[in-house]
Structure 1
Amino acid sequence: MRHRIDVLITRYCLRARSLPSSCLLSLLSTTLPVSRIKIHLEKNPLFMALPSPAPSSDTRLKTFFRQYRERQLTSLVTSTTQVLLRACRPALVVDPVLYVPATRAERSLLVRWRLGWLPGKPEDCPCGRDRRSRRHFLECDLIPSFLWSDLPRCPPGSYPIDFALSSLPLGRSARCPPWWSSLLLMLWYIQRLCRPNGYYPIDSSPGASWYSRSARRSD
């Protein structure tokens, strides 16, 4: 939303500069002792980052806006200490967890993990060894260890589940990765640990909807 506001302000300032001198806004900005455009709007970081001369076409201007936003996102993800931001893809794309083939329950698990609703509050884990946390799940006895091994190997400093989600292929026609069912089963176990009093049935074949579609495409 902040970027959208900056874009609107920048477009407004560029338009104001291109108005004829006889326009009312141009007359007001030159006659009034204090111009809001000069004091506030033109100090907008996106407007100040414009090259000189400014992009001459709307297409080039949109390209500049996108490149600026990508640089801002990369800087934010690499410099922040917030776990959820660091877990995001460093690219301006729709997260595949929103559109890959999945059941309603499976997509709920994926989205809740991305939003940080899992694991939630750091309360005592049913295993009795520690409080529920991302760090504890790596060694919790109630999560089968082979599930961690099935996930793609992540670089140092990355969390296996976050890295797996960021490794999901882009595109609605992409093939299902081999570790997809292990990822969903992992999130199901974590959900049970975080909500031990709830009832969470599990499919006999987690991720079957994506697997079956990939199989049909390969035939």
Structure 2
Amino acid sequence: MDNATDEPARARYRRSAGSPRGEARRRELLAKITDDVAENGLVDFSLRRAARAAGTTHKVLLYHFEGAEDLLRQVVFALRERRIGNALTAVAAESPTLAGRVRAAWCSLRDEETRLRRVLDQAMGLAMYDPGRYAALGRGASQQYLPTLVSFCPPHWPERRKLEVAEMILATLRGFLVDLLTSPDGEGAEAGVAALLRAVEREEAAP
């Protein structure tokens, strides 16, 4: 990260929040920067690199964002939203069982672009490496993914049960995604998913 994120620099620029025109410009800039990060990863991310990707200056970015960390958080959020949207599209064509929905979501995750998977794993790595600075990247992942997984559960289940099962699915699929990045054939991940689906089917069959 560059030093364009310090408080004095931020204080010189007025945020655009609340202005419809400013919000539209912020979304436009964020989309360009998100595309750049999806293509090139998080290594050496800075306001100046983001400004080049967006065709503007870091001072303009400071008008629309709080700083590099705020921008990075919003970029990662946008990339996760892409992942969730892809998974929901796949799930919509699947049988309306929890196991079927998890299977469809897994296939979407398994087949997504490796670059996207690596970027989101890099974000989690930053959260683990420097939690004081990037903890929001880690917390944000669960906050984004869990509501979708909870929505996969049978509607008559108690909310606590839905959340417990969603937590299990999320933690397990995260591990399998890491395995896909580190194993040459992915057989271990597929075997693990098969076991997860059997466990989900048993959970669905339980009273």
Q: Which has the higher helix share?
A: 2
TM over 0.5: no
Larger radius of gyration: 1
TM superposition score normalised by structure 2: 0.30
